[in-house]
């Protein structure tokens, strides 16, 4: 199993023809788009992922990449702004195609991976799938969060002052006469 960054500048067509499998534990620092989503200062020190990619031609003669990504990354809790572990368990199936027209002919169960004639960076594929699988907003469970869950954005003293001002204004309300007319009927 690789512990180095995922191979870049690789001819994915050759991997498919050979029926290759790649298993790796890449450092998060080798996935810069993911590193930006992690908890501030983590830089992947506590985050670990395992990647398994299978390249093959299926029974329908479609070139495919099936992958699985597991592990844990530390992201920022949006309530207390502290790091929190987020488990990852992603499976994906990509159909390798050369153009948009080929992508439209893929079965609905496969996501297209348009490669054209260029070489592919496997870290980009893994990064894309991780970005799609990570939660948009993260929160610790209420019991574990350092921020009080029952917080209020209203200052209690200010709320009391507003309530007193409302009570004072009610006495001088010019429409109070109309209210009496309404009930006289």
Per-residue pLDDT tens digits for 31-53: 878 877 887 665 545 678 899 99
pLDDT one-digit tens code per residue, 97-138: 888 888 888 888 889 988 878 888 888 999 999 999 988 888
* Sequence-ordered list of residues with C-beta below 8 angstroms from that of 164, at least 6 positions apart, any chain: none
Q: For residue 152, is it within any domain?
A: no
Instruction: Please give the DSSP secondary-structure letter assigned to residue 120.
Output: B
pLDDT one-digit tens code per residue, 132-165: 998 888 888 777 777 765 555 556 666 677 777 7
Q: Are 48 and 30 in contact (CB under 8 A)?
A: no
- What tokens does 148 get? 């009080």
How many domains does the chain divide into?
1
Q: For residue 173, is it within any domain?
A: no
Q: For residue 50, is it within any domain?
A: yes
> What's the distance, CA 134 to chain centroid?
2
Q: For residue 147, is it within any domain?
A: no
Q: 63-76 and 48-57 as β-strands: parallel, antiparallel, unpaired?
A: antiparallel
- Domain with 102 in it: 12-133
Q: For residue 172, is it within any domain?
A: no
How far apart are alpha carbons 36 and 39 in whole angstroms? 8
Say if pTM beats, i.e. exceeds, 0.75.
Answer: no
Q: For residue 51, is it within any domain?
A: yes
Q: For residue 182, is it within any domain?
A: no
Q: For residue 129, is it within any domain?
A: yes
């Amino acid at each position: 199993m690789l512990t180095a960054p995922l191979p870049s500048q690789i001819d994915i067509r050759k991997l498919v023809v050979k029926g290759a499998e790649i298993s790796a534990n890449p450092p998060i620092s080798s996935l810069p788009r993911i590193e930006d989503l992690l908890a501030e200062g983590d830089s992947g020190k506590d985050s670990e992922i395992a990647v398994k990619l299978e390249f093959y031609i299926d029974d329908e003669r479609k070139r495919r990449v099936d992958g699985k990504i597991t592990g844990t990354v530390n992201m920022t809790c949006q309530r207390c702004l502290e790091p929190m572990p987020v488990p990852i368990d992603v499976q994906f199936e990509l159909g390798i195609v050369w153009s948009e027209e080929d992508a439209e002919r893929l079965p609905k169960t496969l996501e297209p991976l348009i490669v054209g004639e260029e070489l592919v960076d496997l870290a980009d594929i893994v990064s894309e799938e991780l970005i799609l699988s990570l939660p948009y907003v993260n929160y610790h469970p209420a019991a574990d969060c350092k921020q009080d869950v029952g917080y209020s954005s209203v200052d209690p003293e200010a709320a009391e002052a507003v309530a007193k001002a409302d009570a004072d204004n009610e006495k001088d309300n010019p429409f109070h006469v109309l209210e009496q007319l309404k009930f006289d009927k």
